[in-house]
């Protein structure tokens, strides 16, 4: 796309627009169409204006390619992968293996600790801190979702461990990530509940 923007003007004049890759092939699948809306809303809300975001662009192209692969569970793999990396690239991802209340290492193999999150607190908390901080409406981040978090941060999307992905897979992780985004943008994402209900 090429466009011209005058200084101090928000509106731009678009000169030309060429379609490089169409997402048309996936929109017959309702949940995939909802996923596209979600990717667009999150990108629009989180990316700074007038700044090239090369890493975010590469993330988007990778995730869209995976979505077009139409492998079983691709929608949920794509959306979860995108959400986690977008939150990380935006600098909004807290330390995921430490309780932000007391510093306990949540992933200690000799003493694995349950992890909780709440809309009104940043990051994860252990059971003790959940009680002492009176975190109301806290959700648990399941051991499976914590394992998926580690995998996503270490592997390309196509190399994630074999797993039967459905809407319930890592739904708690997506809820956590959505809350982190919503706290930052100070409003709810319109597309998130629609997507989760689209399964
Ligand atoms: Zn704690």
> Which residues of the chain fall short of a pLDDT of 70?
none
Among 56, 6, 64, CA closest to 35 = 64
Task: Report CA(104)–ligand 1 centroid distance (Å).
Answer: 6
Quote the pLDDT of residue 63: 96
Residue pLDDT, tens place only, 19-54: 888 888 888 889 999 999 999 999 999 998 878 889
Task: Report CA(132)–ligand 1 centroid distance (Å).
Answer: 9
Global confidence as pTM: 0.92
Residue ranges of the domains in the chain?
2-196
Task: Report CA(129)–ligand 1 centroid distance (Å).
Answer: 4
- May I ask the CATH architecture of the domain 2-196? Up-down Bundle (1.20)
Quote the pLDDT of residue 157: 95
Task: Report CA(114)–ligand 1 centroid distance (Å).
Answer: 10
Strands 115-117 and 2-4: unpaired
Residues around ligand 1, an ion, CB closer than 5 A: 99, 101-102, 104, 126, 129
């Amino acid at each position: 796309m090429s466009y011209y923007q005058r200084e101090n003007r928000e509106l731009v004049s678009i000169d030309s627009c060429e379609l490089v890759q169409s997402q048309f092939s996936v929109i017959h699948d309702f949940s995939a169409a909802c996923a596209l809306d979600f990717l667009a809303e999150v990108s629009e809300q989180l990316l700074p204006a007038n700044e090239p975001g090369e890493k975010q662009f590469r993330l988007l192209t990778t995730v869209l390619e995976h979505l077009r692969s139409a492998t079983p569970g691709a929608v949920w793999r794509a959306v979860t992968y995108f959400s986690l990396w977008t939150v990380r690239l935006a600098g909004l991802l807290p330390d995921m293996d430490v309780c932000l209340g007391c510093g306990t290492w949540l992933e200690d193999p000799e003493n694995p600790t349950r992890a909780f999150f709440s809309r009104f607190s940043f990051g994860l908390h252990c059971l003790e801190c959940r009680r002492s901080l009176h975190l109301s409406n806290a959700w648990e981040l399941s051991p499976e979702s914590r394992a998926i978090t580690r995998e996503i941060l270490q592997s390309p999307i196509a190399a994630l461990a074999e797993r039967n992905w459905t809407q319930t897979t890592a739904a708690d992780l997506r809820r956590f990530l959505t809350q982190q985004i919503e706290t930052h943008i100070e409003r709810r994402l319109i597309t998130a509940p629609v997507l989760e209900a689209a399964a």
